[in-house]
Amino acid sequence: MPKVHLLDYVAGNVRSLVNAIEKSGYEVEWVRSPEEVANAEKLILPGVGHFGHCLSQLSSAGYLPALRAHIDAGKPFMGICVGLQALFSTSAENPSCPGLCVLPGALDRFDDSVKAVPHIGWNNASCPTNPTLYGLRPDSKYYYVHSYKYPYRKGELEQLGWAVATGTYGSETFVGAVAKGNVLATQFHPEKSGVAGLRVLRAFLDGSGAKALSEKPPKGVDGGVDEMIAQEGLTRRVIACLDVRTNDQGDLVVTKGDQYDVREKSDDRSVRNLGKPVEMAKKYYEQGADEVTFLNITSFRDCPVADLPMLEILRKTSETVFVPLTIGGGIRDTVDVDGTKVSALEIATMYFKSGADKVSIGSDAVIAAEEYYRGGKVLYGNTAIEQISKAYGNQAVVVSVDPKRVYVPKQDATRHATVKTKSPGPKGEEYCWYACTIKGGRETRDLDVVELTQAVEAMGAGEILLNCIDKDGTNSGFDLGLITQVKEAIRIPVIASSGAGNPGHFFEVFQETTTDAALGAGMFHRGEYTVQQVKDHLGEKGLAVRKFEG
Ligand code: 1PR
């Protein structure tokens, strides 16, 4: 098998990149010291997390001269995500930390006053000068997850000889990929961008992308993207969620509850078994799911460190599913069966190494938020959210919220943030607040969703997975009031969850709220609708969706 070298400079969730490279017919050889860079013919710099963290690691380990020498020697080089950012001079994320300066200019942050940041999801990488640059296609979508970007200015990089592909988020057009000579860099993750991303990776690995570029170099200033007319490229994200737990026979199965009760209504009350996790994840990927989420729903009872089957599920899934994978359940500091203390960060690391791109934290986030308010909103850096987001970036940390309605007669009948509800309470109450729960809804706390989501945003969570116990498994549509309340409270993206029963419910939630993504479970597991049908429906209604490329 031909080889490609991958720089291993920081603990990162690069398993999916390795899988994508192997799927493309190449073998990965790790570069673990600056001296080993010289052995590399083709070199990939994966980027994880924070610009300053990445560059200071590279710098202190002595990699920067070796990387520059590799690029200057004309050997193939690819940077991914922060690996693209590292090529620029600097970033507002850490202005005192210089980049590799292969490209001039400074990265800045997306404006979060009118849209969620990080920018998470499937967007364009369009290059008018070279529309098929490294296998890119104008109608394909690519998976991005980042808060900082290089703002696109027509002609600026083109006149330096770079071919530039762009995406547009809100009104901001940014650099999605750049290429010149032996260098390719993508802000998006090709390894998480399905078949469209694998095409880009292959064009780098087999040299066809660089060859085509040398035969048709970019035209310069006249050929760039007209950012004034660039259209928003972000699509509506549709996520398939698999609740996984051990059934009474001891096998890990996909299950689904009604308002979190996953046992059959029949006399034996056995755990509802809807299928095998790895096979179902693959099925949803092939139906066009933009992400797949696994929630290990009974993990609060078991020690997750011993939970090797869940790691195995991730490993196997990430070999065939090339969209982002999230894993939740049991991510908190814990004590293993032999008494060894294991931190939430160590557990998350195991999941990342097994193929997860994001981890989702439930109960532990509620406890951390309560302490945050008790301590006067001071952060000490010791929570699971802070530690994992520091090591892997905010985008890698999702907080899964399991709220329950508490009905009140009047808007100001409680200290909590209330909404006027469309589903009045048992005594005709017109208002409710959403109480956070822990342990899969078994314990309700005196903390509302606004308090929780604002606290975890301050701690560094990158996204909220917003369930609703009242709606879960009801097929009656999402809780629009809840979603609107949370979206108004925070700037990070929100995934609407619970209640989806047909494609129309997905259209409704995207139409009636500003949610960033929507998730379904039961309607897919029971085979009532496919992910494809949901996306077709959204497309027919005029919403942008990513088409699955087989
Ligand atoms: O608390 O960090 O160990 O995490 C436990 C995780 O397990 C949490 O994310 C929590 O939401 C989840 N969980 C715990 N118990 C259950 C249960 O169902 N008994 N499932 C559970 C949560 C909710 C959604 C579901 C949507 C969509 N599942 O993910 O898939 O509600 O369903 P629908 O479209 O069929 O309505 P920790």
Residue in 251, 88, 221, 227 with CA at minimum distance from that of residue 170:
227
Looking from the CA of residue 474, the nearest atom of ligand 1 is 36
Angle at Cα 258 formed by Cα 254 and Cα 263, nearest 5°? 60
Looking from the CA of residue 501, the nearest atom of ligand 1 is 34
* Residue in 191, 307, 451, 479 annotated catalytic: 191
* Residue 330 labeled ligand binder: yes
Q: What is the CATH number of domain 237-540?
A: 3.20.20.70
Q: What is the pLDDT of residue 59?
A: 92
Centre of ligand 1 to C-alpha 209, Å, is 43
Largest CA distance in the chain: 76
Told to judge if 191 belongs to the known catalytic residues of this protein, a careful annotator would answer yes
Centre of ligand 1 to C-alpha 275, Å, is 17
Q: What is the pLDDT of residues 55-98, one digit of tens each?
A: 888 999 999 999 999 999 999 999 999 999 999 999 999 899 99
Task: Tell me how crowded residue 439 is: count the other CB atoms within 10 A of its CB.
Answer: 13
Task: State if residue 327 touches ligand 1 by the CB under 6 angstroms criterion.
Answer: no
Angle at Cα 363 formed by Cα 524 and Cα 435, nearest 5°? 85
Residue in 547, 548, 546 with CA at minimum distance from that of residue 233:
546
Centre of ligand 1 to C-alpha 499, Å, is 12
Output the residue whose Cα is nearest ligand 1's atom 20. Answer: 297
Task: State if residue 466 touches ligand 1 by the CB under 6 angstroms criterion.
Answer: no
Q: What is the pLDDT of residue 50?
A: 79
* Residue in 189, 505, 525, 537 annotated catalytic: 189
Q: What is the pLDDT of residue 265?
A: 86
Q: What is the pLDDT of residue 49?
A: 76
The region that residue 377 occupies, defined by phi over 0 for left and psi between -120 and 50 for alpha, beta otherwise, is left
Looking from the CA of residue 520, the nearest atom of ligand 1 is 34
CATH for 3-223 (3.40.605.10, 3.30.590.10, 3.10.450.230, 3.40.50.880): 3.40.50.880
- Is the complex ipTM more than 0.95? yes
> In terms of C-beta distances under 8 Å and separation of at least 24 residues, what long-range contacts does 491-494 make, across chains too?
491/112, 491/116, 491/117, 491/457, 492/116, 492/117, 492/118, 492/394, 492/457, 492/461, 492/462, 492/463, 492/464, 493/116, 493/118, 493/120, 493/462, 493/463, 493/464, 493/517, 494/116, 494/463, 494/464, 494/466
Looking from the CA of residue 365, the nearest atom of ligand 1 is 2
Task: State if residue 498 touches ligand 1 by the CB under 6 angstroms criterion.
Answer: yes
Output the residue whose Cα is nearest ligand 1's atom 12. Answer: 297
Per-residue tokens: 28: 């990965």
Element (H, E) at 201: helix 194-205
Told to judge if 258 belongs to the known catalytic residues of this protein, a careful annotator would answer no
Q: What is the pLDDT of residue 164?
A: 96
Element (H, E) at 435: strand 431-438
* Residue 303 labeled ligand binder: no
Task: State if residue 257 touches ligand 1 by the CB under 6 angstroms criterion.
Answer: yes
Of 400, 515, 523, the residue with max ligand 1 atoms within 8 A of its CB, to mutate for a pocket test, comes to 400
Told to judge if 302 belongs to the known catalytic residues of this protein, a careful annotator would answer no
Residue in 245, 349, 328, 242 with CA at minimum distance from that of residue 292:
242
Task: State if residue 363 touches ligand 1 by the CB under 6 angstroms criterion.
Answer: yes
Residue in 27, 20, 318 with CA at minimum distance from that of residue 188:
20
* Residue 467 labeled ligand binder: yes
Centre of ligand 1 to C-alpha 402, Å, is 7
Backbone angles phi, psi at 311, to 5 degrees: -65, -40
Burial label, 409 (beta-carbon count in 10 A; 0-12, 13-18, 19+):
exposed
**Domain extents for the chain?**
3-223, 237-540
Task: Tell me how crowded residue 78 is: count the other CB atoms within 10 A of its CB.
Answer: 26
Centre of ligand 1 to C-alpha 82, Å, is 32
Task: State if residue 45 touches ligand 1 by the CB under 6 angstroms criterion.
Answer: no
Task: State if residue 499 touches ligand 1 by the CB under 6 angstroms criterion.
Answer: yes
Centre of ligand 1 to C-alpha 355, Å, is 21
Task: State if residue 235 touches ligand 1 by the CB under 6 angstroms criterion.
Answer: no
Looking from the CA of residue 363, the nearest atom of ligand 1 is 1
Told to judge if 336 belongs to the known catalytic residues of this protein, a careful annotator would answer no
Residue type, 283: K
Looking from the CA of residue 467, the nearest atom of ligand 1 is 31
Told to judge if 50 belongs to the known catalytic residues of this protein, a careful annotator would answer no
Could you tell me where the DSSP H helices lie in 40-102? 51-60, 63-72, 82-85
Q: How far apart (Å, rounded) are the C-alpha atoms in residues 80 and 187?
A: 6
* Low-confidence residues of the chain: pLDDT under 70: 10-12, 220-224, 227-229, 299-308
Q: What is the pLDDT of residues 283-302, one digit of tens each?
A: 999 999 999 999 998 765 55
* Residue in 50, 54, 70, 81 annotated catalytic: 81
Backbone angles phi, psi at 161, to 5 degrees: 95, 5
Q: What is the pLDDT of residue 351?
A: 92
